[in-house]
Amino acid sequence: MMSKKCKYAIKAMVRLAANYQKGSLSTAIIAADENIPKKFLEQILLELKQAKLVNSKQGIGGGYYLLKSPNEVSMAELYRIFDGPIALVPCVSLYYYEPCDDCPDEAACYLRKEMIKVRDKTRTAMMKATLQSFLDNQKSIKQQTKRTL
């Protein structure tokens, strides 16, 4: 499971993506719109700034804005920032590699091959899930509810 922090980050990023190149959004607005505790969201947005995914402006009319195009930011990237490795075991992680402490000889590990397969499938799917794809979903959902009215 993904942490709430990570899910909040995704929702905040989608909100910023919807506002891409249209100025900045305040934490308060994003928090209210997306149902995220404001003070918690502040920390999250700071981390996103450190990761160079967003930038901010202080003062009245200030807030956060996306630095990259919505199709350049994926769930995989956000997951790694907030929840760490996508891999199920550290010894097959691409970005957070560590030897497993219960594993005396990595080359002899009969788990790795399947762990790598799982990682790759998950990773690919998570990389395909870009902010843009979320925006597209949002749009098509809105279209659908409009039709049913």
Q: Which residues bind DNA (CB under 7 A)?
A: 3-5, 24-28, 37-40, 42-43, 45-46, 49, 56-64, 83
Interaction of residue 42 with a copy of itself, rule CB under 8 A: no
Interaction of residue 87 with a copy of itself, rule CB under 8 A: yes
Token code pair at residue 135? 């925006």
Specify burial of residue 120 (Cβ count, 10 A radius: 0-12, 13-18, 19+): middle
The span from the CA of 54 to the CA of 41, in Å, is 13
What would the x/- binding string for a copy of itself be over residues 125 to 144, using CB under 8 A?
Answer: xx-xx---xxx-xx--x---
Quick one: what does residue 22 bind among DNA, a copy of itself, none, with the CB cut-off 5 to 8 Å set by partner type? none
Q: Which is nearer to DNA, 11 or 119 (CB)?
A: 11
Quick one: what does residue 87 bind among a copy of itself, DNA, none, with the CB cut-off 5 to 8 Å set by partner type? a copy of itself
**First-last CA distance in the chain:** 35
Q: What angle do CA 123, 51, 13 make, to 5 degrees?
A: 70
Q: Which is nearer to a copy of itself, 113 or 147 (CB)?
A: 113
Coil, strand or helix at 143: helix
